[in-house]
């Protein structure tokens, strides 16, 4: 088998993996990212969900921006070319979603390519991670390598530090990490198969507005089981086709619309970390010494057949995410980034939004790179102040206790 070695390998190039890889490479770590599609962005691009929520906390004085860094840089680069609509954070609050940044998915993927290449990341698109090897070490279990499937056959990627940004936490689960998934009764939030909004001609906007949005629910989607996901995707396409038929008037043209290649999941595994983000800590904005980034969204659990469950953030606070929620319990060199970090179900339903996943990705990539370059791959050895200083220097917003 071919073999390559890096300081940091990031598995999955959704918004979290993208920010992790760019952050690690900019610090000087030899970094690679693997992605199962030939396009970066995950749910943002391939999933057809082009809304990035949210960089500001509207319930704070002056509608303060709480997330910046690499994700924000991506938004700004897109906005400069007319491919992102960044709302005015000074506008009075009318409804919580009004501050989401809307982006064009093609441009988003192209600019992500550009930023990864400029940072010096080695990109393995269309080359999914398919297996892992774990070793025992005095510091705990250690991920030795991952195997990716390429056109030329299997290839081993070795690294000092690995970051699991696969969304569903596949890599950590294969390595034997503990996890929870879905609700305690075994049910999952519904997934959604979306029409690609930007693909639709203007005269077909009705289809998009009525059916291509979040209400297109594929019920109880178990994201830990490939056979169940196969069924979910068959159901999702059948649903979209039925909706096209229902909306079609006699004499209409054949609707020329595309949909995402897979149903986007609202939740997957939550990989057990050295600490667990709880809903209570989240909504009350509890700060810990290792809180490395903010998040902003409310508890948002979608349910089949009844209204979405919401719990709002305590006024005047901003949720903050701990680095220890990204450090996989029992592993010395494995971090998670994005929606699979260690959290209870309520906190997960809030921190999974894209701007938060971007901030988490940057934090994980920063800690991973520092560990790989200076501490022999031992993430727990990196002084937390070093991570925070590095994040601030790179333009990220690091939580601080307020007077």
Instruction: List residues near ligand FAD by CB under 6 A.
Output: 11-17, 34-37, 42-44, 49, 51-53, 100, 128-129, 165-167, 170, 192, 214, 264-266, 338-339, 352-354, 357
Q: How far is the CB of 332 from ligand FAD (least distance, A)?
A: 22
In order, the DSSP letters of 179-243 are: EEES-TTS--PPEE--B-GGGS-GGGHHHHHHHSSTT-EE-S--TT-HHHHHHHHHHHHHHHHHH
Which CB sits closer to ligand FAD, 51 or 278? 51
Which CB sits closer to ligand FAD, 218 or 370? 218
Name the helix (H) or strand (E) containing 128.
Answer: none
**Nearest partner of 19 among 77, 82, 69, 75, judged by Cα:** 69
**Nearest partner of 69 among 400, 399, 403, 398, judged by Cα:** 398
Q: How far is the CB of 246 from ligand FAD (least distance, A)?
A: 21
Which CB sits closer to ligand FAD, 355 or 373? 355
Q: Which residues contact 91 (CB under 8 A, 6 or more apart)?
A: 63, 98
Which CB sits closer to ligand FAD, 51 or 156? 51
Which CB sits closer to ligand FAD, 14 or 346? 14
Exposed, middle or buried, 250 (CB in 10 Å: 0-12/13-18/19+)? exposed
Identify whether the C-beta of residue 290 lies closer than 8 Å to the C-beta of residue 324.
Answer: yes
Q: How far is the CB of 109 from ligand FAD (least distance, A)?
A: 10
Which CB sits closer to ligand FAD, 131 or 139? 131
Which CB sits closer to ligand FAD, 27 or 44? 44
Task: State whether the Cα torsion 247-251-257-259 is positive or negative.
Answer: positive
Exposed, middle or buried, 74 (CB in 10 Å: 0-12/13-18/19+)? buried
Locate tokens 């809304």: which residue? Answer: 51
Identify whether the C-beta of residue 171 lies closer than 8 Å to the C-beta of residue 164.
Answer: yes
Which CB sits closer to ligand FAD, 105 or 167? 167
Name the helix (H) or strand (E) containing 105.
Answer: helix 105-119
In order, the DSSP letters of 261-289 are: SSPBPS--EEE-BSS-B-HHHHHTT---T
Which CB sits closer to ligand FAD, 10 or 373? 10
Locate 67 and state its tokens.
């997330």
d(Cα 335, Cα 149) in Å, to the nearest integer?
A: 22
């Amino acid at each position: 088998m071919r073999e390559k070695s890096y300081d940091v390998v990031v598995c999955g190039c959704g918004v979290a993996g993208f920010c992790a890889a760019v952050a690690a490479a900019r610090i000087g770590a030899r970094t690679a990212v693997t992605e199962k599609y030939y396009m970066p962005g995950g749910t943002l691009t391939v999933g057809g969900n082009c809304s990035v929520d949210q960089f500001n906390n509207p319930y704070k004085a002056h509608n303060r921006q709480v997330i910046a860094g690499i994700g924000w840089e991506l938004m700004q680069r897109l906005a400069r070319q007319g491919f992102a609509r960044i709302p005015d954070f000074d506008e009075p609050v009318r409804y919580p979603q009004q501050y989401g940044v809307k982006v064009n998915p093609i441009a988003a993927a192209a600019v992500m390519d550009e930023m990864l290449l400029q940072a010096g990341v080695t990109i393995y698109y269309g080359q999914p991670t398919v297996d892992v090897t774990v070793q025992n070490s005095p510091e705990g279990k250690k991920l030795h390598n991952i195997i990716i499937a390429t056109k030329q056959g299997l290839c081993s990627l070795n690294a000092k530090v690995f970051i699991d940004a696969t969304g569903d936490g596949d890599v950590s689960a294969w390595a034997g990490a503990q996890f929870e998934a879905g609700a305690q009764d075994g049910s999952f939030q519904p997934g959604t198969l979306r029409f690609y909004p930007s693909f639709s001609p203007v005269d077909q906007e009705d289809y998009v507005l009525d059916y291509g949005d979040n209400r297109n629910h594929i019920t109880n989607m178990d994201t830990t089981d490939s056979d169940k996901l196969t069924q979910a995707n068959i159901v999702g396409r059948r649903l979209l086709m039925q909706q096209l038929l229902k909306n079609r008037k006699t004499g209409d043209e054949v609707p020329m619309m595309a949909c995402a290649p897979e149903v986007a999941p609202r939740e997957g595994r939550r990989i057990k970390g050295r600490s667990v983000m709880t809903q209570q800590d989240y909504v009350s904005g509890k700060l810990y010494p290792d809180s490395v980034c903010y998040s902003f969204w409310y508890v948002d659990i979608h349910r089949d057949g009844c209204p979405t469950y919401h719990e709002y953030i305590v006024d005047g606070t901003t949720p903050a995410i701990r680095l220890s929620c990204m450090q996989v319990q029992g592993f010395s060199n494995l971090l998670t980034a994005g929606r699979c970090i260690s959290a209870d179900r309520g906190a997960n339903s809030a921190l999974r939004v894209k701007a938060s996943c971007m901030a988490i990705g940057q934090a994980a990539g920063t800690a991973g790179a520092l560990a790989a370059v200076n501490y022999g791959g031992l993430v727990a050895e990196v002084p937390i102040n070093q991570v925070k200083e590095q994040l601030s220097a790179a333009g990220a917003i690091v939580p601080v206790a307020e007077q």
